[in-house]
Structure 1
Amino acid sequence: MCERHSWESDTSREIVDEGRSAFHGLNRAEGAKLWEFEREAEAGLYLNGHVFVVEHLDRISRQGWEAAYDFLKRLTGHGVTVATVDGERIYPAGERVPMGQVMEIIIKSELSLEEGLKKSKRIKAAWKAKRERAEAGDRSAITSITPSWIEVDRSNRKMRLVPHRAKVLNEIFEWSAGGLGGPSIVNRLNERNEPTWGPADNGWQLGYVTRLLTNRAVMGEYQPRSRPRGNSPEKAVPAGEPILDFYPPAITAELFNRVQAARAARRGTGGKRGKTQANLFSGIARCAECIGPMTYGSTRKAGNVIRGTSGSRKPITFVTKTDHSFLQCDNAKRRRGCPNKTKIRYEFIEPSILENMLAFTADSLRTDAPQESQRMKQELAELKRQIDGKLARLANLVDSFARTGSRTIEDALLLIEAEVEADKSRVETVQRELEQLSAAETPESTIEHMREIRGSLSHPDPQVRLDARIRVNQTLKRFINSMHCDANGQTMIVFGNYGAGITFDRYGNCADRSALNARYEGPDGEPDWHPDDVAAE
């Protein structure tokens, strides 16, 4: 058309907005190239004979004749001639659009809108039908895009796990449940050159690992979502309730729940940790004065070369044989008003606390549950997940039945209610069996497990030491109710399961084992509380 009318043209002047829907108006929304062109025209940048050429008016808008006519008048009113290849129409700048052409614009625009509405309805109906088939039990892939650890058989659209990726996924979850944070997991995967699951192998990233650890699709759940078509800035939102067991499950519900609990326990206790987890009491130790965190500090490490002068001012050099580190109130360190400036020698209290806590935690510590106990926990977690999903479906069915009174919906309601009751009955049975099995486990075996972990703290392999220290930190968080360090250099630990406490002096010696002296945070956040206080009142 440009050649026929002898208009000069250049490919650099082409306006292309791929994927921006004219039906939803996204091609004229802020940030689109057409939006930028309109703003430039309004600013008077195209007053010297520019022509805007477009294939068809529906490339401008498919939202009805008002939007198309508004665009046309906006450009011609600011000195830009508009031309359409369809019908070889030219609308000169600054001139009135004849009535016949206005009617033509109205008819073509309304036809485009009607066509767009039909396509939109068909697409929505197709997706609705796919979701309904999935809810009815069809486990065929809805699209070719599935989670990275799942592949689709093209012959029948059935989904199956990718064995190696499912194995890696389980490793990631087990590491997280065992206490490893996201950065440590990323480092471990990259150090062993584990291939990533994207089109470009740029190494594992923290954001992707975090999404894996929080994605319920690993248990087989599919959450349908709805988002505006085109490159809309709006995020997708859930469309209906999750469909349970749609994907092949790669992770058990019990493991998924353990990971979420471990992540919640680590929240707020992060920071630069390197590869040593030097402080076993990170997120646990608190100042007795201000209840602020006790932070770990170090003045020297074993093997450091120290240079100085002797008493006679002669230069001397020696290598330190031991670490010299301490715990100190963070508020006092940063001069935030806490008077507790005492530094408690870390190398003294760590071994003493670990040795003394064995007697207090033996009855309830379970670092490695027996196989049968683990199986029961997995079954319980899965049953509870199924019940939650069925209750959500029941709520939707009740609303539908109230609107329609359908006999089919009523039958489905009764069936799901019966399934929920059966699942709840099974939960009670498994819980009783699990309690009996737990009662049968011996304190001797739990002590042995704790000693195995403690023995790994001095393992020659640095990775084994790191894993052991992370596990001990997580174990301490489960069993220590409070750990307070006072201005006299004393550290008092209260074990939540026992209501008993141990007090250590600044050299790590056990000074007191009296439960009566235990003071810890009360039910309303009181920093210095004891149940006897309530009894006295």
Structure 2
Amino acid sequence: MPTAYSYVRFSTPDQLKGDSLRRQTEISQAYVEEHGLTLDTTLHFRDLGLSAFDRSNVTRGALGGFLEAIKRGRVEPGSFLLVESLDRLSRAEVLDAFAVFSDILKQGITIVTLADRMVYSQESLRSNFGNLIGSLSIMARAHEESAMKSRRLKAVWDNKREKIEEKKLTARCPQWMRLSEDRSRFEFIPERVETVRKIVDWSRGGLGNTAINKRLNAEEIPTFTKSAKGWQASSVDKILASHALYGAFQMHTRVEGKTIPDGDPVGDYFPAIITKEDFFLLQSIRQGRRTDSGGKARKGNDVPNLFSGLVKCGYCGSSIVMLGSARSNKADGTPRPMRKSLGCDGARRGHNCYGVQWEYTAFETSFLTFCQGVQLDNFIRDEAIDAQSNNVTLSLNQLVAAAKAEVDDIQTRLNRLTALAEMGDTPMTILTRIRELELQLLEKTDALDELDKQLSIALTSSQYRAEKVADVRALIERMNTMDEQTRFDVRAALAEHLRHMIHRIDVFPAGTIYTQAEIDQRRDSLIAQGYSKKRADIYLAETHRTAPKRLGQGKRGRYDPNASKGRHFNIYGKSGGVRSIYPDHDDPQSIIVNIASRTSKV
């Protein structure tokens, strides 16, 4: 017996609650029983809540999957496709709808419309031309009905937009708000707003989505949905990414099955929790945290390495990682805590680099000593850096202005063609051009949104860096005088500030190591200054090392502790400044700070 496939579609999710699915399913079953067909139950072709007017059911729905199954031979010629009516297949323009209809028939598939019991096949259309005319008429009527509905719905929303100051467009709003009884404003739900403020503050303070999620559940803070079983990291992420935090509402429309912004965002539509500048700064902080940590959530109850993701080996460029080594027990036999050091991950994995380590506590002490000194102010507030930042902002402003002009131009041309199309009898070339412009508008609007975000971040980042110098120092003062939970929060917040101010830290635990090419160049320079070859070689042998000095014989000999007396690290600020820090070998709180350029060799 021939195989039949049932295709069920309706355009809105609300119809799933009604009788449409049951009705379409039952009439398919009745038809196959009556005509001796076998209903295939292994492939489910259902587009529940997808529109056939914008061709979503073809471009991203089950009907498109059915067409692909035909091409791949999964659905064989001679099979039947059962639909309630032709408008379930398509409500697009006649030519587009007929293309789908004819493609199916050309593959030897028979289409049956169950509502009127019409059977369409290549043979039936050849023998009865009237059936073809009738099918085209049905397709044209279906498209016109949907087009009229679309125009009416657009008119309703346009009217709502014009009265947006008098009455809100819809009752839909973020879960920490509700619509007032007179529908003129949204109002906060106090206990939920308090939760949102905590989430924002924790994120600003350095906690990732997973850590915030755990804390919300640990503190038994109620979720915004009664059915939810505790907080989820995805819910935290949606809250932190919501433009409603600063009160913005972006209207959308659908083009070619895609949701795109419709017009400019409506400012002050919702009551704001934070400012627009703070919102984009928050996004910058979160993005930086994802980039620096490789997308991994912070685990444990401490932040053992304040510089995770920032520290690089000055010799080979590999990441610097935390390494642990066992220590001998105390005199009473109790174990000592593991010694933690920073070391090159490349050397640890056997690559061609040095295995010299830097005790973590000493490194952190030297770094925080720099942060507490006056050099940090100069590092953040360098006039040259401010000028560079201003140039970036100016450039972004120009790009935003150009992008806005381009979007406005496309929108103007699109409005003219749309007005022409609504007059009827529109040539296919005009309709094709409208689609092209709609897609261009989508692309350019997305690009403009991205530029706007970059501009907002640029405007707030320099202000953030300057204002947070005092916060960094205050956090350092608090670190060693608190309980475990507060210590975690403070170290997380400090790590967050460092990530936002610092691009990279290059570490040279064995001091400066020179390449042979650099030594040869320096040797030529000394000879040109009057040094004899012998004297130049002696001087360079004493001052220019090509490898860390070892104790004992062979490559496995231990490094000489004194060889690290020239150790230092370079701090590269995100806005362009560079500082070289030389700590005293025996007293990490005693440091020498040099100003350097990004291209200088220290």
- State whether TM-score is above 0.5: yes
Q: CA deviation at 1:475?
A: 4.5
Contact kept in structure 2, 1:38 and 1:75, CA below 8 Å = no
- Structure with the largest fraction of helix: 2
- Does residue 103 (structure 1) correspond to residue 133 (structure 2)? The answer is yes
Contact kept in structure 2, 1:349 and 1:507, CA below 8 Å = no
Counterpart CA distance in 1 for 2:221 and 2:50 is: 37
Evaluate the alpha carbon distance shift between residue 163 and residue 101 of structure 1 in structure 2; reply closer, same or farther with a 3 A threshold.
same
Contact kept in structure 1, 2:206 and 2:492, CA below 8 Å = yes
- Does residue 472 (structure 1) correspond to residue 522 (structure 2)? The answer is no
Counterpart CA distance in 2 for 1:263 and 1:44 is: 46
The aligned residue for residue 339 of structure 2 is: 324
Contact kept in structure 1, 2:70 and 2:107, CA below 8 Å = no
Contact kept in structure 2, 1:221 and 1:244, CA below 8 Å = yes
Counterpart CA distance in 1 for 2:120 and 2:197 is: 64
The aligned residue for residue 192 of structure 2 is: 165
Q: How high is the sequence identity, in percent, across the aligned residues?
A: 25
SS in 2 for 1:268: helix
Equivalent AA in structure 2 for residue 290 of structure 1: C
* TM-score relative to the length of structure 2: 0.60
Please give the residue correspondences for 1:24-423 in structure 2 after superposition, counting only pairs within 5 Å.
24-29=54-59, 31-32=61-62, 35-36=65-66, 39-40=69-70, 43=73, 52-66=81-95, 67-68=97-98, 71=101, 74-75=104-105, 78=108, 80=110, 82-86=112-116, 88-91=117-120, 94-95=123-124, 96-134=126-164, 137-138=165-166, 140-153=167-180, 155-156=182-183, 158-198=185-225, 200-228=227-255, 232=257, 234=258, 236-263=259-286, 265-270=288-293, 271=296, 273-275=298-300, 276-300=302-326, 318-338=333-353, 340-355=354-369, 357-360=371-374
Evaluate the alpha carbon distance shift between residue 321 and residue 520 of structure 1 in structure 2; reply closer, same or farther with a 3 A threshold.
same
SS in 2 for 1:227: strand
Evaluate the alpha carbon distance shift between residue 164 and residue 17 of structure 1 in structure 2; reply closer, same or farther with a 3 A threshold.
same
Counterpart CA distance in 2 for 1:35 and 1:78 is: 17
Once the two structures are superposed, residues 257-289 of structure 1 have per-residue CA deviations (whole angstroms, 9 ceiling, x without a partner) of: 442343355353215642311012334444332
The aligned residue for residue 503 of structure 1 is: 582
Please give the residue correspondences for 1:1-40 in structure 2 after superposition, counting only pairs within 5 Å.
2=30, 6-7=34-35, 16-29=46-59, 31-32=61-62, 35-36=65-66, 39-40=69-70
Evaluate the alpha carbon distance shift between residue 213 and residue 520 of structure 1 in structure 2; reply closer, same or farther with a 3 A threshold.
farther
Evaluate the alpha carbon distance shift between residue 109 and residue 281 of structure 1 in structure 2; reply closer, same or farther with a 3 A threshold.
closer
Counterpart CA distance in 1 for 2:266 and 2:187 is: 17
Q: Structure 2: which 5+ runs fail to align? A: 1-26, 381-396, 414-459, 511-562
Bigger shift: residues 168-177 or 326-335: 326-335
Evaluate the alpha carbon distance shift between residue 130 and residue 527 of structure 1 in structure 2; reply closer, same or farther with a 3 A threshold.
farther
The aligned residue for residue 509 of structure 2 is: 486
Q: CA deviation at 1:486?
A: 3.1
Contact kept in structure 2, 1:456 and 1:464, CA below 8 Å = no
Counterpart CA distance in 2 for 1:400 and 1:41 is: 37
Contact kept in structure 2, 1:78 and 1:94, CA below 8 Å = no
Contact kept in structure 1, 2:379 and 2:578, CA below 8 Å = no
Q: CA deviation at 1:37?
A: 7.4
Q: CA deviation at 1:126?
A: 2.8
The aligned residue for residue 416 of structure 2 is: none
Evaluate the alpha carbon distance shift between residue 110 and residue 504 of structure 1 in structure 2; reply closer, same or farther with a 3 A threshold.
same
Once the two structures are superposed, residues 163-221 of structure 1 have per-residue CA deviations (whole angstroms, 9 ceiling, x without a partner) of: 22221111122122222233322222222233333464144333443343233221011
Counterpart CA distance in 2 for 1:295 and 1:222 is: 44
Contact kept in structure 2, 1:484 and 1:493, CA below 8 Å = yes
Equivalent AA in structure 1 for residue 583 of structure 2: F
SS in 2 for 1:262: helix
Contact kept in structure 2, 1:287 and 1:294, CA below 8 Å = yes
Counterpart CA distance in 1 for 2:70 and 2:268 is: 53
Q: CA deviation at 1:466?
A: 0.6
Equivalent AA in structure 2 for residue 191 of structure 1: A
- Does residue 528 (structure 1) correspond to residue 601 (structure 2)? The answer is yes
Counterpart CA distance in 2 for 1:18 and 1:33 is: 11
Contact kept in structure 1, 2:105 and 2:121, CA below 8 Å = no
Q: CA deviation at 1:346?
A: 1.6
Q: CA deviation at 1:106?
A: 2.9
Q: Structure 1: which 5+ runs fail to align? A: 308-315, 367-386, 404-430, 530-537
The aligned residue for residue 545 of structure 2 is: none
Counterpart CA distance in 2 for 1:44 and 1:397 is: 44
Equivalent AA in structure 2 for residue 260 of structure 1: Q
Once the two structures are superposed, residues 57-116 of structure 1 have per-residue CA deviations (whole angstroms, 9 ceiling, x without a partner) of: 222222355535862784497363624423x54457844442333333233322222212
Once the two structures are superposed, residues 395-437 of structure 1 have per-residue CA deviations (whole angstroms, 9 ceiling, x without a partner) of: 699979999xxxxxxxxxxxxxxxxxxxxxxxxxxx9xx9xxx
Once the two structures are superposed, residues 22-56 of structure 1 have per-residue CA deviations (whole angstroms, 9 ceiling, x without a partner) of: 223333446515752784599496777x7655433
Contact kept in structure 1, 2:369 and 2:589, CA below 8 Å = no
Q: CA deviation at 1:512?
A: 4.8
Contact kept in structure 1, 2:177 and 2:188, CA below 8 Å = yes
Contact kept in structure 1, 2:82 and 2:112, CA below 8 Å = yes
SS in 2 for 1:82: strand
Counterpart CA distance in 2 for 1:282 and 1:172 is: 23
Evaluate the alpha carbon distance shift between residue 132 and residue 337 of structure 1 in structure 2; reply closer, same or farther with a 3 A threshold.
farther
Counterpart CA distance in 1 for 2:150 and 2:202 is: 45
Bigger shift: residues 500-509 or 100-109: 500-509
Evaluate the alpha carbon distance shift between residue 391 and residue 318 of structure 1 in structure 2; reply closer, same or farther with a 3 A threshold.
same
Contact kept in structure 2, 1:491 and 1:506, CA below 8 Å = no
Evaluate the alpha carbon distance shift between residue 392 and residue 209 of structure 1 in structure 2; reply closer, same or farther with a 3 A threshold.
farther
The aligned residue for residue 425 of structure 2 is: none
Contact kept in structure 2, 1:22 and 1:59, CA below 8 Å = yes
Q: CA deviation at 1:328?
A: 0.9
Contact kept in structure 1, 2:324 and 2:341, CA below 8 Å = yes
Q: CA deviation at 1:324?
A: 0.7
Counterpart CA distance in 1 for 2:94 and 2:317 is: 67
Contact kept in structure 1, 2:110 and 2:120, CA below 8 Å = no
Equivalent AA in structure 1 for residue 588 of structure 2: N
Counterpart CA distance in 2 for 1:4 and 1:498 is: 76
Counterpart CA distance in 2 for 1:477 and 1:103 is: 68
Evaluate the alpha carbon distance shift between residue 119 and residue 97 of structure 1 in structure 2; reply closer, same or farther with a 3 A threshold.
farther
Q: CA deviation at 1:18?
A: 1.7
The aligned residue for residue 454 of structure 1 is: 476
SS in 1 for 2:92: coil
Counterpart CA distance in 1 for 2:572 and 2:143 is: 70
Counterpart CA distance in 2 for 1:175 and 1:325 is: 28
SS in 2 for 1:17: strand
Equivalent AA in structure 2 for residue 321 of structure 1: R
How many pairs does the alignment contain? Answer: 444
Evaluate the alpha carbon distance shift between residue 333 and residue 505 of structure 1 in structure 2; reply closer, same or farther with a 3 A threshold.
farther
Evaluate the alpha carbon distance shift between residue 104 and residue 198 of structure 1 in structure 2; reply closer, same or farther with a 3 A threshold.
same
Evaluate the alpha carbon distance shift between residue 300 and residue 108 of structure 1 in structure 2; reply closer, same or farther with a 3 A threshold.
same
Contact kept in structure 2, 1:52 and 1:82, CA below 8 Å = yes
Contact kept in structure 2, 1:76 and 1:82, CA below 8 Å = no
Equivalent AA in structure 1 for residue 48 of structure 2: E
Counterpart CA distance in 1 for 2:188 and 2:334 is: 55
